[in-house]
Structure 1
Amino acid sequence: MKKALSFMVIRVFILSFVFTVPFPSTGLDLGDIRSWQEVICKDGEYWSNNICCKNCPAGTHLKSACTVPGERGQCEQCEDETYTEHANHLHRCIGCKKCRPDQEIVQACSHTQNYLCQCKEGGFCTPEQACEMCKKCSRCDPDEKAVRNCTATSNTECKKIYLPSEWSPGKGKFDLKSPLWKQHKYAIYVAIAVPVIISVLLLVVGAVYIYIRKKKQAGGSEDIGLKIEEGKTEHTHRMGGLSLIFSPPRYEPFPELIPVKGEQSLRSCFHYFEEISSYHHKRFFRELNLSNNVIQNCEHMQYEDRIDHLLGIWYEKVGKCANLNDLLKALLDLDQRHTAESIQEKALADGHYVLQESL
């Protein structure tokens, strides 16, 4: 009884201290702030200016915090193409991410939810796996039949067709008038034709190989040349009377961007990269040589905070050599030209960068 009474007195003393002594504005560790908040703030509240405020409802974001404990601050409705799915105290709403070209819209973006997308007909993505692009639906082999058609979330399921025992080798002759033969004759035709075609192709490849060997032994040689014309590089390979020209892929580079205020210009552009699709952001940061561990350690953050934090890590890693042109090139290498062009236009329009040509 005495121990319980002593514990109650200590607890009352601690709570009275918490509610009477103001929290210092600086000098507290993040873990200390969270521990005080857990004691004072309820679910659905957040800590701001030494008081607990209620979260803004879904579909809005926080404009200014409350001044009276337990009340809600000033909330503002999300703009078009932005949303907040849950109660929050974010200072701005999350930008809606549009569906990829291989997807179709199931439900449009609203103030309380992102676009709902699914793979277009002929493609699928399983819900339990990360889907950076839709996979092509499989087709059943000639000796199979579909037991379940492909959907946006599952692949085609096939089942083997087992021929009747009287059709098996050594068990009698085929009855060409049998209804079973008529039902499966195309599968049997394919089963016979495929090995024959493969055998013929192997014979052709073998004959070509022997011809080349004999020609080399007879003193013949392949003529492999490099053709340079008007700034384009083409590899020409001649064998006998056949010429093959291989042209490397051509990428149109961006004009060089020059920062107006050095490091400040680059950091001012970090939030533009929130346009990167959530399906591509991991590949983008891997392209910047950030490790998977570093990327995964930021998964708990809000998307825009995660982008800004990872770009900060990249900047610290690269140092003075960091520039916006390298980030745009990484997007081009990932075939994200539309996003790169949008970021470039914003950097120029907001006056953070100028084109080298205009200097």
Structure 2
Amino acid sequence: MEYPNALRQCRDCRKCREDQVEVNGCQPTRNTVCACRNGTFCPPDHPCEMCQKCQPRCPEGQVVLKPCTPYSDLQCGPATDTGSTHSWTIPVAVTVAILLLAAICFWWCCCRSPGDGRRSSRRPYEMVTSMFRKLPWYTGTEDNSINERLQSQQQHPVAEPLVPQSGSERPKRKLVPAPETDPKCVLRLSFYIFAKKIPMDNWRRFGRNLHLEENDIVLDRTEDAFYQMLYKWQNREGTKASVNTLLETLDQLHLGGVAEDISSTLVNNGTFQYETS
């Protein structure tokens, strides 16, 4: 066994399947580590019931972004041209920003008709559009899109995002099993950590929020009983069972601090990692 537990006997070492190769052999405190053979892969965030074949090559017109690995398929994408595109993007963006700033300043401060002293009726987006037409690279196609976008921003200003009034909300960072681990196994190993961190008075509410039957909800206040409750939940959910579901259930019970503590523990002990995508 790799982690502290309440089991009364050792477990058998894992045996790699025919479509896998052994990366690291079994040891008294570490299970066998298996990986897919060359040319096949299995995503680390999915139960690896069978290795899948990698794409042999990229489609026509695309280039290899990342080669095939035992944990990800061949990744392809369009070839990027880093030449003329970047050389035009920055000057155009700077020019438009300067024109917009200048138009707003003129409209508020100095745009008055010379005769009667009244403020000009032209809106900033109208002034920007007229200046935009005078640029040497203007072709006429940008006129309507810029006009409509600036007008829409004035008529429908973007609302400021609401700032949570309480600092108790847990950042919604999902977890995925660490590479070279068995997702089902590491999920079961996390059950004891949930048992240690969740207050016992909340165990039954936790089980009910997982929609377990009453006869499946833990009665004894022991970590083994709590483990058996989550084990029944995992068997019922099958491939849909995820540690993120357990963490979200804690949030629903207003135990976000406990959920964050468990997330940090699972990441620190190497069984899970934060999702990067």
- Taking structure 2 as the reference length, what is the TM-score of the superposition? 0.38
* Structure (1 or 2) with the greater strand fraction: 1
Q: Which has the higher contact order (CA 8 A, sep 6+)?
A: 2
When Rg is computed on C-alpha atoms for both structures, the one with the higher figure is 1
